[in-house]
Homo-oligomer: A and B are copies of this chain.
Amino acid sequence: MKEVVIKNISIGDELLIGQVVNTNAAWLGEHLSDAGFHLDSALTIGDSEQSILDALNACMDADLVLVTGGLGPTADDITKPTVCKFFDTELAFCQEAYDNIVALFNRRGFQMSERNRGQAMLPKACQYIPNTYGTASCMWLEKQGTVFAFMPGVPFEMKGIFIEELLPRIKQRFQALPYEKRVVMTTGIGESFLADKIKDWEEALPDYLSLAYLPQYGMVRLRLSGRHEDAYMLHATLDEQVGKLSLLIPEYIFAMQDQTIERTVFDLLMERGKTFASAESCTGGNIAHVVTLIPGSSEVFKGTAVTYATPMKTKVLGVPAATIEQYGVVSQQVVEGMAKGVRDLMEADFGVATTGVAGPGGGSEENPVGTVWIGVASARGVVSKRFNFGKDRENVINRATVTAYEMLRQQILISQAS
C-alpha cells in the first residue's frame, strides 16, 4: 500500500517572530498518527502572498495539504485572495457560511460587523466545511489530484473542526495502513530509571512496534505503537506486550490508557459513588482546576479551599493556630489538619491537602524551595508524605498536583479493599 503523503502549512507572522509557538503542527501530527496516517513535513510561513503561493506550489507533490491560519477577520489576513489566485477562482458569497456566522453571533448575543459578513465570501471552487467554533470558514479544494484543506489557526477551533469535520472526510478519501497504539501512564519514577527497568522487554519488541517515553510533570507516558497490514496480529501483539509491561512495573502504573491522573481518580470515584474536596496552599487551586476541566466533575468534586493566607487555615479549615505556631505552616501536622478540615467542611468522602514552598522565595534550611507536604483524609484516618519537587515554581505546582492525585488514588483503592 502506497503511503499517503500529507504536509502541513501554518500561516502567520506571529509564528515566525516567536510571539506564538506553533502547537498546531504537533497536534495534527499526533492525530494523523492515531488515524494511521503520517505527517511528512510541517512548514511555517508569514502572511504574505508570495510566501503562501510558494508554499502551496511546493506542496503539489503531496496527496493532502492541511493549511492552518490566516483566516481571521482582520486586514492582515490575505489568505483567501491568494487561495483564489492559486486555484484560479474568485470569491463568492456562501449562504451556508453566512448562516453559520449569523448563528454564532446570535448565540453569543453580539452584533455582526461588516468584516464578519466578509468572512462568508469564499473561493467559488471550494467545498465549504462548517466551523461551529468561530467565524472563519474551513475550505476543501483540489488541484491536480492534491487535496488542500484550509482551517483557522486558533487551536481550539482548528482541533474541533479537524476531529468533527475533516478527519472523517480524510478517512473517506485516503486509505491508511492499520495503526494501533497503547498508552501506559506511570508516575513516581523518572524516565531513565524506568528505561533501565524495562530495557530487556523494550529490546525484545518486534521491529514494527516502537516505544516512546513522554515525560511530563511527575509522570511518564509510555506509548507503544505500530503499523502493520495485518491489523489482527498487530492488535494481539500489542495486547501481549502491554500485558508483559504491566507485570514488570505494576507499582508505577496508574492507567492502562492515555488519560490524566485526575481523570483516573474521577472514574474511580464515579464507580464508587464517592466524593472529594481539596485544601490547597502551595498548589493554589490547581487540584481543583484540573478536575473541573472534566465535564461532569461536579458529581465527584465538592469544592476547594485555597488558603493562601495562613490565618485562613485556621478560620476556614479549623487547623488550630497553636499547631501552625508550633510546627510551622509547611508541616505534617498542618497538612493533616487541612485534609481533615476540608473533608469535614465540604462533607466529602476524601479530603486532599497541600502545603509547601513553591518558590522562588520563601525557602528555609528546614524547608527549602520545592518542599511540599501532601495529605489525604478519609474515613480510615489521614496519611501524609513529604516531597521535594525542585526549584521551578510551575513545575513544583504541577508535580505536587499529580502526586496529590496519586496519593488520593491509593487511598480510594485501599478504602474499597477494607
Within 8 Å CB of A212, what residues of B? 13-14, 19, 76
> Is A29 a contact of B42 with CB atoms below 8 Å?
no
Within 8 Å CB of A14, what residues of B? 212, 214, 223
> Is B21 a contact of A33 with CB atoms below 8 Å?
no
Q: Does A154 contact B (CB under 8 A)?
A: yes
Q: Given A25-B22, A302-B312, A72 and B394 touching (CB < 8 A)?
A: no
Q: Given A16-B41, A25-B22, A287 and B285 touching (CB < 8 A)?
A: yes
> Is A44 a contact of B73 with CB atoms below 8 Å?
no
Query: Quick one: which of A253-283 are within 8 Å of B by CB?
Result: 275, 280, 283
> Is A72 a contact of B213 with CB atoms below 8 Å?
yes
Chain B residue with the shortest CB-CB distance to A77? B213
> Is B30 a contact of A72 with CB atoms below 8 Å?
no
> Is A15 a contact of B29 with CB atoms below 8 Å?
yes
Within 8 Å CB of A298, what residues of B? 308-309
Which stretch in A82-90, A161-169, A385-393 binds the other chain? Answer: A385-393
User: Which one of B30, B283, B345 lies within 8 Å of A18 (CB-CB)?
Assistant: B30
Query: Quick one: which of A148-195 are within 8 Å of B by CB?
Result: 154, 156, 160, 181, 190-193, 195
What is the bound-complex CA distance between A292 and B360, given in angstroms?
Answer: 12
Residues 49-62 of chain A: 1 if any B CB is under 8 Å from the residue's CB, otherwise 0?
00100010010000
> Is A192 a contact of B116 with CB atoms below 8 Å?
yes
Q: Given A13-B212, A15-B25, A312-B303, A41 and B40 touching (CB < 8 A)?
A: no
> Is A191 a contact of B72 with CB atoms below 8 Å?
yes
Instruction: Give the distance to chain B from A72, nearest Cβ to Cβ, in Å.
Output: 6
> Is B312 a contact of A191 with CB atoms below 8 Å?
no
What is the bound-complex CA distance between A51 and B213, given in angstroms?
Answer: 20
Within 8 Å CB of A45, what residues of B? 40-41
Which stretch in A102-110, A122-130, A233-241, A409-417 binds the other chain? Answer: A102-110
Residues 1-44 of chain A: 1 if any B CB is under 8 Å from the residue's CB, otherwise 0?
00000000000011111111111011111110100001111111
Which 7 A-B pairs give the minimum distances between C-beta atoms?
A18-B30, A284-B292, A285-B288, A285-B285, A304-B306, A73-B192, A18-B29
Q: List 14 A-B contacts (CB under 8 A).
A: A15-B29, A17-B225, A18-B26, A18-B30, A21-B26, A22-B22, A25-B44, A40-B51, A41-B55, A135-B192, A156-B392, A285-B287, A304-B308, A312-B346
Which residues of A line the B interface, CB within 8 A? 13-23, 25-31, 33, 38-46, 51, 55, 58, 72-76, 107-110, 113-116, 132-133, 135, 154, 156, 160, 181, 190-193, 195-196, 199, 202, 210-215, 221, 223, 225, 275, 280, 283-289, 291-293, 295-298, 301-309, 311-312, 315-316, 345-347, 358-361, 368, 370, 388, 390-395, 397
